[in-house]
């Protein structure tokens, strides 16, 4: 049996993909493979706009290649493609992502939030036209779509560029915002302390609560201080109570750095066949913090996975695992 067709492993050891694979988002496709999408990277001195890898078991991952080989017309001259999120819509796959527009098309240099579509989870994804959201700075980043099983609403989360993480209802086809909908602010940064920046929202429903996982502060570079925080609510659109507020503790971190793993964050979540919740995220290996010598320190972000423990209604991981662990059941 080949590595790619093996369905289960007794154990795994982090990292599960020892290559630059920032801002992962994972879906399970009808073909039985998990597909993971990630921010752009340089591989063999060539840019990959949107990375895609796949796995049968959430442990052994194999690069598929380039998910979006053709840049959109409005960002054909830039190289700034971040944090893709993919959802299945009928017989199509929609990919939400952020990119910096060409100055000639959009008169700002801020990131835009856009949509591309494909007939296959592996791509190629083709941009649908002009972006869904256009703005200054990097407010419109890190999209995540959540179809609320209780209300039936389709929701888009994003943010934040030192702004709050926000949510807004989508139309039934996931391609535009619902008529008369407005964005709602959910989680705010702390300009006077940690976290000064919040981003990378991921929402799940567990028991009777909605849990919003988010990351901050700096993801990378010499001041990398990333970690995953959590808040919960009885509604997918809030208001959310952070772990810090609920417990009266100094912060809301549920996943944070260790001696080896720096700046763990920008997570996605997957439920395995046993009903356990797994968090996949990137982190920096202090033993190899860059791809190339000329790269900035703490710029190589690789893929890790850990099982979430539920403690009194709250999810917890602690530091990334560094020893063999029981693998997901898939």
Q: How many structural domains compose the chain?
A: 1
| pLDDT the model gives residue 105 | 55
Give φ, ψ of 33 to 5 degrees. -95, 145
Q: Residue 55 sits in a domain of what CATH number?
A: 2.115.10.20
Task: With respect to residue 43, please indicate whether it lies within any of the assigned structural domains.
Answer: yes
| pLDDT the model gives residue 6 | 42
Do 218 and 226 contact (CB within 8 A), yes or no? yes
Task: With respect to residue 2, please indicate whether it lies within any of the assigned structural domains.
Answer: no
- List, for residues 146-192, the tens digit of each pLDDT value: 999 999 999 999 998 899 999 999 999 999 999 999 999 999 999 88
Task: With respect to residue 135, please indicate whether it lies within any of the assigned structural domains.
Answer: yes
C-alpha span between 288 and 258 (Å, rounded)? 15
| pLDDT the model gives residue 2 | 43
Task: With respect to residue 63, please indicate whether it lies within any of the assigned structural domains.
Answer: yes
Task: With respect to residue 175, please indicate whether it lies within any of the assigned structural domains.
Answer: yes
| pLDDT the model gives residue 136 | 83
| pLDDT the model gives residue 238 | 98
Mean pLDDT of the chain: 94
Task: With respect to residue 3, please indicate whether it lies within any of the assigned structural domains.
Answer: no
* pTM score: 0.95
Q: Which residues of the chain, if any, have pLDDT below 70?
A: 1-9, 104-109
Domain range spanning residue 104?
11-326
Asked if the bond preceding 195 is cis, omega within 30° of 0, the reply is yes
Task: With respect to residue 4, please indicate whether it lies within any of the assigned structural domains.
Answer: no
Task: With respect to residue 1, please indicate whether it lies within any of the assigned structural domains.
Answer: no
| pLDDT the model gives residue 20 | 98
């Amino acid at each position: 049996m080949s590595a790619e067709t093996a369905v289960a492993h007794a154990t795994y050891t982090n990292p599960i993909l020892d290559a630059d694979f920032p801002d992962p988002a994972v879906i399970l496709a009808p073909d039985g493979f998990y597909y993971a999408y990630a921010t752009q990277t340089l591989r063999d001195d060539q840019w990959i706009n949107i990375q895609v890898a796949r796995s049968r078991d959430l442990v052994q991952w194999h690069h598929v290649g380039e998910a979006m080989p053709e840049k959109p017309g409005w960002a054909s001259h830039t190289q700034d493609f971040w944090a893709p999120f993919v959802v299945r819509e009928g017989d199509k796959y929609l990919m939400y992502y952020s990119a910096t527009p060409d100055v000639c098309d959009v008169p700002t240099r801020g990131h835009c939030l856009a949509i591309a579509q494909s007939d296959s989870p592996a791509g190629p994804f083709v941009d649908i036209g002009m972006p869904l959201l256009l703005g200054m700075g990097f407010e419109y980043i890190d999209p995540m779509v959540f179809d609320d099983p209780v209300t039936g609403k389709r929701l888009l989360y994003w943010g934040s560029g030192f702004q709050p993480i926000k949510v807004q209802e989508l139309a039934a086809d996931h391609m535009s915002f619902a008529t008369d909908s407005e964005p709602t602010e959910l989680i705010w940064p702390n300009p006077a302390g940690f976290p000064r920046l919040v981003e990378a929202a991921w929402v799940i429903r567990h028991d009777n609560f909605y849990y919003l996982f988010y990351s901050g502060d700096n993801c990378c570079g010499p001041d990398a201080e990333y970690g995953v925080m959590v808040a919960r609510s009885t509604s997918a659109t809030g208001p959310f109570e952070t772990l810090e507020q609920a417990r009266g503790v100094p912060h809301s971190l549920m996943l944070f750095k260790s001696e080896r793993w720096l700046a763990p964050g920008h997570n996605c979540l997957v439920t395995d066949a046993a009903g356990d919740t797994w968090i996949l995220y990137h982190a920096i290996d202090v033993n190899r913090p860059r791809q190339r010598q000329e790269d900035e320190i703490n710029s190589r972000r690789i893929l890790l996975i850990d099982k979430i423990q539920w403690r009194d209604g709250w999810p917890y991981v602690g530091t990334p695992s560094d020893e063999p662990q029981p693998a997901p059941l898939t």
